[in-house]
Amino acid sequence: MLRLHNSSFITFHHQFHNLSVFSSNKSSRVMAPPILSLALPSETGRVLSIQSHTVQGYVGNKSAVFPLQLLGYDVDPIMSVQFSNHTGKLLRYPTFKGQVLNGKQLWELIEGLEANNLLYYTHLLTGYIGSVSFLDTVLEVVSKLRSINPTLTYVCDPVLGDEGKLYVPQELVSVYREKVVPVASMLTPNQFEAEQLTGFRIASEQDGREACRHLHAAGPSKVVITSICIDGTLLLIGSHEKEKGQSPVQFKIVIPKIPAYFTGTGDLMTALLLGWSNKYPNNLEKAAELAVSSLQAVLSRTLKDYEKAGYDPQTSSLEIRLIQSQDDIRDPEITYNAHIYD
Pairing outcome for strands 261-263 and 317-319: parallel
267 in catalytic set: yes
Give the ranges where 123-238 is alpha helix by DSSP (H): 132-148, 171-175, 191-198, 205-218
- Name the phi and psi angles at 293, rounded to 5: -65, -40
Interacting residues of 148 by C-beta distance below 8 A, sequence separation 6+: 11, 15, 119, 120, 121
- Active site residue: 231, 267, 328, 342, which one? 267
Q: What CA–CA distance (Å, rounded) separates 304 from 260?
A: 12
Pairing outcome for strands 249-255 and 233-240: antiparallel
Axis crossing angle, helix 265-279 with helix 284-308, rounded to the nearest 10: 140
Residues classed as catalytic: 267
